[in-house]
Chain A
Amino acid sequence: QSALTQPASVSGFPGQPITISCTGTSSDVGGYNYVSWYQQYPGKAPKLMIYEVSNRPSGVSNRFSGSKSANTASLTISGLQAEDEANYYCSSYTSSSTVVFGGGTRLTVL
């Protein structure tokens, strides 16, 4: 159950789009459409932003979108805002009937 691979950090200017990648294997990301993305502010519980690769829960801004190609999933935030500065985690269901998270990506809004 190796963690999914995410970049440690990404940054962008307000109004710009950014993309965070999440790379796994055919036993997790590539094998199932059960990829989720979470936003977490320091000291707070995570918040679900995307589920089943590209679905947004009610209340999540449509600036957030998800996609997947082969063993890599991506989270795109269009029109960056200061409030988007947070840590982002991907997760995937696995062939072992477990869930695995990525190592997390710190997003900085410049």
Chain B
Amino acid sequence: EVQLLESGGGLVQPGGSLRLSCAASGFTLSNSAMNWVRQAPGKGLEWVSGINAGGNSAYYADSVKGRFFISGDNSKNTLYLQINNLRAEDTAVYYCAKSLTQRVRGALDNWGQGTLVTVSS
């Protein structure tokens, strides 16, 4: 059974940084594209970043480009999202999601439970 378990969220001041983790089990991380999707309180889904299987190519939404960095550790079967220079509008639940495909194309067939990031002074 595929499972994704996010961690690393919390309360951070504007301008601060966090590293989110997503521990994967039931499949091999390097065989699937992986993604981060966020949802601000009471709002819709926003795709944030994706990485192709094998980790050779990463992609970002314009709203986070240059501040967020996605990576994977195949030895730990864990996906990461480094988020820097946080802004109030980054406040959201961050979901880790596995793609059906090896390249970032959408089709997110498994999701974690999410981790809440709150940016506030």
Contacts and interface: CB of A to CB of B under 8 A. Distances in A.
A45 B113 contact: yes
Contacts of A45: 95, 111-114
Interface residues of B, number: 25
A89 B45 contact: yes
Given A98-B60, A99-B35, A99-B50, A48 B107 contact: yes
Contacts of A97: 57, 59, 104
A92 B107 CA distance: 9
Interface residues of A, number: 29
Given A45-B112, A45-B114, A51-B100, A101 B107 contact: no
B1 interface: no
A46 interface: yes
A35 B105 CA distance: 9
Interface of A: 1, 3, 32, 34-36, 38, 40, 45-48, 51-52, 57, 87, 89, 91-93, 96-104
